[in-house]
A and B are shown apart, each in its own frame.
Chain A
């Protein structure tokens, strides 16, 4: 499928995949697609950074190549590895048949592709490459990425340079558990993904948790939006809002009630200190506020 040709088309593409993007994010995604620059997304956990890559892959009809980063991730696990066992075997066989002089042990079929090489493999269909949680990898790994991000190519000393026929769409995400180096940032378009505003969050909830009644989802969003302005150690993300809507539906709740909120706080808040702070009176107050926003004129 062709790349979108305007910001509006990009927003429509994301929306078709169930992703509600704000105008700034849609513009950045559009630019990243048009300029063929990697997209570097930073933001709090649970704000939908990874989801963008998935939706793009689906919307553009491309395969999604995902590289989950972790400490110690190296070239052999991220890019490529030579199949040493087969190389040695090939040498043995060639020797036995007297053709040792003609064997090339660095031929393509001895090269095992890992995500990075697979994403730029000219023999495979175009890809969306998701490099997820780059901050979890250690610094040396970032250096492996530089050539790939700048030119969509990888140089393998024994083999040569592999270059993508169609530039892959590259999405990098980070939760900022470590600052990613400037060299990576320079090669990318940067976007900070923030928590959505109430209207956008309601829209997201309508798409992601369609079984929830309109009234309940409006109250849920109002409650979570208030919760985000509290002094908490870890604020709930959109993913938590969606989970919570699901949890309340399973408990057959049709509107927010302090009791049910207290019992399900663990879906929204993941630290005991935060839960202890909100549970009880504070939760009841937030529920009241949320309700008064949703239906400002109570029927007496």
Chain B
């Protein structure tokens, strides 16, 4: 292969890295190898050869195609700089633009299959504390810094979290002297150390492990005063156990799983604030759940996932489509737990349409009377399930 082409591929890989694609040196070498095998005069073959070696996720394919079309258009050296600028600009533009469009652009990069209706620019609902546009909200949404001791406390609290069905038996085995199964392979190996004499039977038992957890958290106006504590909670949970997926919804659904993975809470919260366009707006629970069911449920609800739905059930759309989508969600996960943080007195009756539509489809209904701390949240979630309470709620509804 000519040196020019090799250099070009190297520059192209660098461009992709700057655009946020994880292209490593091994991928670049594979790309060089692939390009040597195909007919480089054929643009499709060239594109596919580079894509199949450098892109490892479907979400990245669209960004790659865009970068490819810009980079390999004309052979002058100067275009590299232009391409860099175009990609960088394309990447950094979203926060500057009007949020709905930017959000779509961002999402178009993540998953081209998603189709959504444009968001009408309605003012926030009455529940919203202030009447400001979504854009202004976005800017004011900064979270109090957490001190090192706050973080340590949060970690300690999360350790106490015991979700229903938490220890799920997997089919993996682990050596255990009291285990119920005999491990013949280990027994034989041990016997070799004793000159072939079997002195002890090695045993093993099933490993237990928490199931995947999917958190769907409402961040609409009525819930806004709890956003801080909820985010602390979500961040602590996401960093405490593996297989946690986190989604926020108000009028639309945002997957913030990757953002929350940052160890440092402040970094995580900042990128969450950027990624989510609808802080403290209205709530369209039905629509958000429909989108979750359509786009995400099959990808994150496998292997017996437990869903934790955090919302007050106050729906802007008058509970349109809520019951159907709750039913579907309930049927696709192993357990659906609803945490309602707005129940502040015992005589509460679930009168709102949204709540009545949702209650029949949850396995457990948890309430927090005073969501002042992470501790109250963890305590509420770790309480043993009470079938009688659940019946009482259903009767009232």
Interfacial chain B residues near A7, Cβ < 8 Å? 38-39, 42, 45
Q: A191 to B52, Cβ gap below 8 A? A: yes
Q: A189 to B53, Cβ gap below 8 A? A: yes
Which of the 9-residue segments B69-77, B93-101, B144-152, B291-299 touches chain A?
Answer: B291-299
* 8 A Cβ contacts from A133-168 to B: 135-136, 138, 140, 158
* 8 A Cβ contacts from B199-256 to A: none
Given the interface contacts A27-B48, A185-B57, A190-B55, does A72 sit within 8 Å of B172 by beta carbon? Answer: yes
Q: A100 to B45, Cβ gap below 8 A? A: no
Is chain B's binding surface mostly helix, strand, loop or mixed? Answer: helix
* 8 A Cβ contacts from A1-47 to B: 6-7, 23-24, 27-28, 30-32, 34-35, 37, 40, 42
Q: B38 to A138, Cβ gap below 8 A? A: no
A176 to B298, CA, bound (A): 7
Asked if A87 lies at the interface with its beta carbon under 8 angstroms from chain B, I say yes
Asked if B156 lies at the interface with its beta carbon under 8 angstroms from chain A, I say no
Given the interface contacts A37-B30, A191-B52, does A27 sit within 8 Å of B38 by beta carbon? Answer: yes
A178 to B242, CA, bound (A): 13
The one of A34, A100, A186, A233 that contacts B294, using a Cβ cutoff of 8 Å:
A233
Q: A189 to B172, Cβ gap below 8 A? A: no
The one of A31, A135, A175 that contacts B37, using a Cβ cutoff of 8 Å:
A31
Given the interface contacts A23-B44, A138-B170, does A190 sit within 8 Å of B52 by beta carbon? Answer: yes
Q: A72 to B30, Cβ gap below 8 A? A: no
Tell me, rounded to whole Å, the shortest Cβ–Cβ distance linking B186 to chain A.
Answer: 10
Q: A138 to B303, Cβ gap below 8 A? A: yes
User: Across the A-B interface, how many residue pairs have beta carbons closer than 8 Å?
Assistant: 102
User: Closest residue to A73 on the B side, CB-wise?
Assistant: B171
Given the interface contacts A82-B185, A158-B189, A185-B56, does A179 sit within 8 Å of B299 by beta carbon? Answer: yes
Q: A84 to B38, Cβ gap below 8 A? A: no
A179 to B49, CA, bound (A): 23
Asked if A214 lies at the interface with its beta carbon under 8 angstroms from chain B, I say no
Q: Mark A70-95, 1 if CB is under 8 A from B, else 0.
A: 01101000000010100110010000
* 8 A Cβ contacts from B1-56 to A: 22, 24, 26-27, 30, 33-34, 37-39, 42, 44-45, 48-49, 52-53, 55-56
User: Closest residue to B207 on the A side, CB-wise?
Assistant: A140
Interface size class, chain B: 35 or more
Given the interface contacts A7-B45, A190-B55, does A84 sit within 8 Å of B184 by beta carbon? Answer: yes
Q: A100 to B196, Cβ gap below 8 A? A: yes
* 8 A Cβ contacts from A250-299 to B: 273
Interfacial chain A residues near B303, Cβ < 8 Å? 71, 138, 178
Given the interface contacts A27-B49, A74-B172, A186-B24, does A105 sit within 8 Å of B298 by beta carbon? Answer: no
User: Closest residue to A72 on the B side, CB-wise?
Assistant: B171
Interfacial chain B residues near A74, Cβ < 8 Å? 171-173
A211 to B348, CA, bound (A): 65
A7 to B189, CA, bound (A): 50
Tell me, rounded to whole Å, the shortest Cβ–Cβ distance linking B374 to chain A.
Answer: 28
A227 to B310, CA, bound (A): 35
A30-B38, A35-B37, A178-B303 known; 16 new pairs, CB 8 Å cut-off, are: A24-B44, A31-B37, A31-B49, A35-B34, A40-B56, A42-B58, A136-B302, A138-B170, A175-B298, A176-B58, A176-B298, A177-B302, A178-B299, A189-B30, A190-B52, A231-B115
The 7 A-B pairs of least Cβ separation, nearest first, read: A72-B171, A185-B56, A84-B184, A27-B48, A177-B302, A192-B58, A189-B52
B positions within 8 Å CB-CB of A: 22, 24, 26-27, 30, 33-34, 37-39, 42, 44-45, 48-49, 52-53, 55-58, 61, 115, 170-173, 184-185, 188-189, 196, 293-294, 298-300, 302-303, 324, 328
Can you name 26 A-B pairs with beta carbons within 8 Å? A7-B38, A7-B39, A23-B45, A27-B38, A28-B52, A31-B34, A32-B52, A34-B37, A35-B30, A35-B34, A71-B170, A72-B171, A72-B172, A74-B171, A84-B185, A100-B196, A176-B299, A177-B298, A189-B30, A190-B55, A190-B56, A191-B52, A231-B115, A233-B294, A233-B328, A273-B324
